[in-house]
């Protein structure tokens, strides 16, 4: 019997040692780097593309990258990032040659926004969205805006603070979240005459709504969004500007815990102006005032097609106290 317990103890010690070695290896290695590929793109820098890019950037880039004490995209600390990922800072994406993206080519920007890999091989972790399903026209328009004469992107001498990723963030970037493959073919514009398909593109492509509104960032499926855990059922932990927990809303059409009792006008008022039947939207959700009637109707049409999930997000606030 003593020999048996000695064997068990030895096995436990070996397992603990291996776990300790693995923990230290991930902690020291950090987030991996990769080799950025060379791609060929042709971005049109017309006034129309710049205007379209500014419209999209206003909800995809400007909110996170605007500096705390300026109106330029100089980066800031992301206080609303879930603490399990560590301390996160957004980058200076002005046209500054040293501190911003002034030296990046259009192709390097496209490759980074698709895959998450910067020109120097640095990988942008899970908190930076990767727009793998965004159409070429939308993505190129954002780049046209970043290259434009708009005051927000003019060169600003602001050093980007280094992120302090948690061990969990490092682990996930080593085993699960890796660079996304660059599209092998052009990504076309959606068919705006097909409201269902257009709505899916807006939710899962252009505006990237589903990562926040699904169950957990760690289980998001970028390539097959509908396979994400709790797809659009909400409950994902976010933070408000004061660092207090905010759980994403259930935006499936479940009548009790989602949007099932909303009519289209109520939905449009909440989405575009921030006024829901239950009161103002909570940060980090903000009104999508840029949406036009067609986009709003398309999103509504798509959400009505998504399987309903019964998930009472309000219970999470009680359980977290």
Domains of the chain, earliest start first: 47-175 (1.10.760), 195-313 (1.10.760)
7: pLDDT strictly greater than 80: no
> End-to-end alpha-carbon separation of the chain, Å?
47
pLDDT digit string, tens, across residues 152-165? 999 999 999 999 99
Distance CA 154, CA 156 (A): 6
With b for 16 or more beta-carbon neighbours within 10 A and e for fewer, the 228-254 pattern comes to bebbbbbbbbbbeeeeeebbbbbbbbb
pLDDT at 302 over 70: yes
| Cut 0.85: pTM above it | yes
Q: Which residues contact 307 (CB under 8 A, 6 or more apart)?
A: 231, 252
More confident residue, 80 or 5: 80
8 A C-beta contact, residue 249 and residue 257: no
Q: Half-sphere exposure of residue 170, counting CA atoms within 13 Å on the CB side?
A: 17
Q: Where are the alpha helices (DSSP H) in the chain?
A: 2-29, 47-60, 62-65, 106-115, 136-146, 167-175, 195-201, 210-213, 264-273, 293-303, 314-319
pLDDT digits (tens, 9 = 90+) for 103-150: 999 999 999 999 999 999 999 988 898 999 999 999 999 999 999 999
Give me the phi and psi of 236, to 5 degrees please: -75, 135
Alpha carbons 83 and 87: distance in angstroms, whole number:
7
- Furthest-apart CA pair in the chain: how many Å? 81
Q: Which two tokens stand for residue 81?
A: 């990032």
Beta bridge partners of 87: 164
Residue predicted with more confidence, 20 or 304 = 304
């Amino acid at each position: 019997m003593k020999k048996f317990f000695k064997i068990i103890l030895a096995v436990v010690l070996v397992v603990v040692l291996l776990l300790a070695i693995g923990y230290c290896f991930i902690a020291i290695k950090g987030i991996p780097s990769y080799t950025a590929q060379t791609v060929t793109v042709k971005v049109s820098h017309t006034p129309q593309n710049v205007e379209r890019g500014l419209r999209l950037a206003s909800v995809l880039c400007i909110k996170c990258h605007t500096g705390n004490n300026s109106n330029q995209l100089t980066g800031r600390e992301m206080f609303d990032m879930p603490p399990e990922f560590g301390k996160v800072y957004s980058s200076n994406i002005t046209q500054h040659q040293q501190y911003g993206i002034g030296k990046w080519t259009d192709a390097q920007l496209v490759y980074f926004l698709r895959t998450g890999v910067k020109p120097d091989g640095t990988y942008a972790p899970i908190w930076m969205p990767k727009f793998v399903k965004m159409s070429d026209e939308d993505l190129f328009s954002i780049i046209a805006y970043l290259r434009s004469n708009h005051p927000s992107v003019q060169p600003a001498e602001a050093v980007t603070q280094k992120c302090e990723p948690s061990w969990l963030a490092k682990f996930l970037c080593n085993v699960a979240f890796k660079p996304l493959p660059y599209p092998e073919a052009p990504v076309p514009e959606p068919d705006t005459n097909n409201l269902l398909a257009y709505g899916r593109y807006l939710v899962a492509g252009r505006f990237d709504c589903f990562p926040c509104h699904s169950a957990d960032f760690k289980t998001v499926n970028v390539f097959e969004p509908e396979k994400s855990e709790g797809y659009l059922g909400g409950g994902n932990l976010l933070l408000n500007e004061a660092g207090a927990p905010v759980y994403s809303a259930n935006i499936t059409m479940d009548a009790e815990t989602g949007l099932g009792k909303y009519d289209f006008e109520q939905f449009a008022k909440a989405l575009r102006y921030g006024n829901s039947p239950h009161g103002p939207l909570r940060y980090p959700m903000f009104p999508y005032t840029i949406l036009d009637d067609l986009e709003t109707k398309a999103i509504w049409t798509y959400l009505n097609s998504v399987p309903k999930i019964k998930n009472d997000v309000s219970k999470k606030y009680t359980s977290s106290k």
